[in-house]
Amino acid sequence: MTNPSDPSGKARREFLRRLGGVAVACTGAAACSVAPQSGGPVAGPDPSPVKDYDWTKHHWAFGVDATKCIGCLRCVEACKTENDVPGDAHHFNTWIERYVYLEGETKARIDSHHDPVNIAASGSEKEFRFANRYQDAKVEKAFFVPKLCNQCTHPACVQVCPTGATYKSKDGVVLIDDKYCIGCQYCVQACPYGARYFNPTKGVTQKCYWCYHRITKGLRPACVEACPVGARIFGDRNDKQSPISLFIRNNRVQVLRPESGNEPNVFYVGIDKEVS
């Protein structure tokens, strides 16, 4: 990755070094299609690609308090409307999982809004609700867990993208460039959280991007705006008094699949060992 502020001499050395690598690689003709990683146009004076917003000044993060989630799915609804997510139940940027331990069972029963029972309860694939399917069962423990893209610090999805269509922004969000995405779906497979999906009508991969168009305008993501119980927390970690900074400071938080090495940036409170 080139840093535009580097002295040009270093960039040239880097360029020559990589050129040598390319020359070797070009003996296999196919490798030539992979663009080398330097020598592009020099950056302009503008330090931020978004108007009236400095992306070097923010460090966004997300919190989920699963002890508050009531499973109303208004977040899923809001997200669909806000982000032009396909209208059916099987494509979504964010979702809620329901974990139910029945008496005498050791494993949790897990379902989400796209479970056939829940689709039947809502009446259509365009509406979302959790069916009250355990009302007559003996429930030992049960809770809801909202899920979304973790905007990892070391995102596996970005590593595998062959075209540079998905990348990490400086303020901490993994974005997708619709125009450069070729729909190969490597990233869908690479994501350990199942946060990505392929949109067959557009031919591109989509996922949660913390409503980047909202947060760069000073608004909260649509799901946070819609959550009636404050189970979703969002803010800037550079601001020590932001909701997310307070949430992380005042709670014992954890992340999903820490062993994956992705360093997720969605922090959870109140989830169980089976949630991953």
Partner 1 sequence: MPRHISRLLLLFVGAGILALVARWYFTADTFYQFGHFRGKAVGEIAAKEPAYQTARYCEDCHTERHAQWSANNHKSVNCEVCHGAAKGHPENGKLPIPADTRKLCTLCHERMAERPRPQPQIDPAQHSPGQQCIVCHNPHAPKLAGVVAKVAGDAAAGAKTHAARCADCHGAAGVSPNDSWPNLAGQHGAYLVGILAAYKSGAQTDAMMSPIAQGLSDAEIQNLATYYAGLRCEAKPRKSRLGDPAAGKALAKNCAACHGDAGIGGNPAWPNIAGQAPEYLVNSLKAFRAGLRKDPMMAGVVRGLSDTDIANLAAFYSAQNCAPAAKVKETP
Q: Which of 85, 149, 211, 271 binds partner 1 (CB under 8 A)?
A: 211
| DSSP-H helix ranges across the chain | 8-25, 74-83, 116-122, 156-160, 186-190, 212-215, 222-226, 243-250
147 binds partner 1 (CB under 8 A): no
* Residue entry with tokens 């400086």: 170
135 binds partner 1 (CB under 8 A): yes
CA distance 75 to 89: 14
- The 246-265 contact track toward partner 1, x by CB under 8 A, reads --------------------
CA distance 257 to 110: 17
50 binds partner 1 (CB under 8 A): yes
Structure tokens at 42: 């020099």
Amino acid at 225: E
- What lies within 8 Å, CB to CB, of 166 at 6+ separation is 155, 157, 158, 174, 175, 176, 177, 181, 187, 205
100 binds partner 1 (CB under 8 A): yes
Tell me if residue 233 falls in helix, strand or coil: strand
| In the complex, least distance from residue 71 CB atom to partner 1, rounded to whole angstroms | 6
Structure tokens at 129: 């609700």
Contact (Cβ atoms closer than 8 angstroms) between residue 204 and residue 178: yes
- The 1-40 contact track toward partner 1, x by CB under 8 A, reads xx-x------------------x--x-----x--xxxxxx
CB closer to partner 1, 141 vs 249 = 141
Q: Which of 86, 180, 190, 257 binds partner 1 (CB under 8 A)?
A: 180
76 binds partner 1 (CB under 8 A): no
Task: Give contact residues for partner 1 (rule: CB under 8 A).
Answer: 1-2, 4, 23, 26, 32, 35-41, 43-44, 49-51, 53, 55, 67-74, 78, 81-82, 98, 100, 129-130, 132, 134-135, 139, 142-144, 164-170, 175, 177-180, 209, 211-214, 216-217, 219, 222, 225-226, 228-230
